[in-house]
Amino acid sequence: MTLKSKTIVFFGTEDFSLDSLKALVNAGYNIGVVVTKPDSKKGRNQNLTPPAVKIFANEHNIPVWQPTKLDEIVSNIAALDSPVGVLVSYGKIIPQKVIDLFNLGIINVHPSLLPKYRGSSPIESAILNGDTYTGVSIMQLSAEMDAGPVYAQIVHELTGKETQPDLHKTLSGAGAALLVNILPSIIDGSLQPVTQNESEATYTLLLNKKDAWLTPDTVSSKQAEQKVRAHLLFPKTKLNVMGHDIIITKAHVSDNSKTPLDIKCTDGAFLSIDELVAPSGRKMTAISFINGYAAV
| pLDDT for 163 beyond 70 | yes
Q: Same domain for 77 and 221? A: no
Encode pLDDT of 65-96 as tens digits.
999 999 999 999 999 989 999 999 998 889 99
**Pair 180, 220 in one domain:** no
Check pLDDT > 90 for residue 2.
no
* Whether residues 175 and 216 fall in one domain: no
Are 21 and 60 members of one domain?
A: yes
State the CATH number of the domain containing residue 281.
3.10.25.10
Work out the angle between the directed axes of helices 16-26 and 164-187 (0-180°, nearest 10). 40
Give the chain's domain count.
2
Identify the pLDDT of residue 160: 95
Residue 116, CA distances (Å) to 6, 30, 106, 124, 130 in order: 32, 32, 20, 13, 14
Quick one: CA dihedral 213, 50, 96, 174, positive or negative?
negative
Share of the chain above pLDDT 90, in %: 89
Residues 10 and 92 both lie in one domain = yes
Residue type, 91: G
Residues 79 and 36 in one domain: yes
* Same domain flag for 64 and 93: yes
Confidence of residue 3 (pLDDT cuts 50, 70, 90): low
**In whole angstroms, what is the distance from residue 129 CA to residue 250 CA?**
17
Same domain, 105 and 193: yes
Residues 181 and 277 in one domain: no
What's the order of all strands across the beta sheet hosting 150-157? 64-65, 30-35, 7-12, 84-88, 106-110, 133-140, 150-157
**Does 219 lie in the same domain as 177?**
no
Domain boundary among 200, 226, 252: 200
Query: What are the tens digits of pLDDT across the range 89-146?
Result: 998 889 999 999 999 999 999 999 999 999 999 999 999 999 999 999 999 999 899 9
| 8 Å CB contact between 267 and 220 | yes
Q: Specify whether 110 is located in the same domain as 73.
A: yes
The model carries a pTM of: 0.93
**Mean pLDDT value of segment 245-254:** 98
Confidence of residue 39 (pLDDT cuts 50, 70, 90): confident
Mean pLDDT of 25-53: 89
Provide Rg for the chain, Cα atoms. 22
Per-residue pLDDT reduced to its tens digit, 172-194:
999 999 999 999 999 999 999 99
CB-CB neighbours of 6 under 10 Å: 18
Measured at the CA of 281, the angle between CA 278 and CA 285, to 5 degrees, comes to: 40
Bigger pLDDT: 44 or 255?
Answer: 255
| pLDDT value for 266 | 97
CATH of the domain at 107: 3.40.50.170
Which of 148, 178, 200 is where one domain is finished? Answer: 200
**Contact 264/250 with Cβ under 8 angstroms?**
no
Final residue of a structural domain among 146, 180, 200: 200
Domain that holds residue 46: 3-200
Question: 86 with 133, same domain?
Answer: yes
- Percentage of the chain surpassing pLDDT 70? 98
pLDDT, tens only, 261-286: 999 999 999 999 999 999 999 999 99
Task: List the beta bridge partners of residue 137.
Answer: 110, 153
What pLDDT score does 257 carry? 94
- The per-residue pLDDT for 42 is 76
C-alpha angle 234/46/73, rounded to 5°? 85
Is 295's pLDDT higher than 60?
A: no
**What average pLDDT does the segment 212-216 reach?**
97
